[in-house]
Chains A and B, each alone.
With several copies, the nearest count.
Chain A
């Protein structure tokens, strides 16, 4: 078991993969530490949102994920 990170849109390009497993529990600082370099910088930007198990977080710095949770990293949508 781990926390699954799902990278959407251009974040998947920066991550080099659509998904990544990291050990839980995971808070906001743990997430930044797990994603160094340009990906971490991008995620820090205010236009990137987080969803945990399909629910978008109103405040992404309040992240608190456990093993088995899925965190989606969401850049601005393109629309359909």
Chain B
């Protein structure tokens, strides 16, 4: 089961996890990753832009790739877009599997791809205005683990 969404409003991880768990009563383990806007330095706000024809399609393909690589019962990819503040949830990934190692690896894989390889454009507002962001070197090396 694939549950892939781009959210224009709030991401509420608790209810999303409750629903995902209820949808997979047969799964022995569910691993989730919740990413939040980090209160780094003087970042006042963050805006994420997407382009639906590419962004959603890319997330669907990422979910399919994870389902192909690991024996999963289900995968969830929810990503916020639009304006956010430090501390706001921005991404939730969850993988349900019979065995926990598969769930851990699939969630880790999905996050590494979403962080550096997904069709999102991000800008941060600091005291001196808005700045467009590119992935960190760490994100690229994380991604290279899976190739």
Nearest A-chain residue to B139, judged by Cβ: A79
Q: How far is the CA of A26 from the CA of B133 in the complex (A)?
A: 31
- CB < 8 Å A-B pair total: 65
Annotate A47-80 by CB proximity to B: 1 below 8 A, 0 otherwise. Answer: 0000101101000000000000010101111111
From residue A49, how far is it (CB to closest CB) to chain B in Å? 10
Query: Does B146 sit within 8 A of A, measured CB to CB?
Result: no
Query: Does A10 sit within 8 A of B, measured CB to CB?
Result: yes
Q: Which residues of A contact B133 (CB under 8 A)?
A: 78
Query: Do residues B51 and A72 form an inter-chain contact, with CB atoms below 8 A?
Result: yes
Query: Do residues B118 and A72 form an inter-chain contact, with CB atoms below 8 A?
Result: no
Q: Which residues of A contact B90 (CB under 8 A)?
A: 80
Residues of B within 8 A of A (CB): 35, 48-49, 51, 53-54, 57, 79, 90-91, 114-123, 132-135, 139
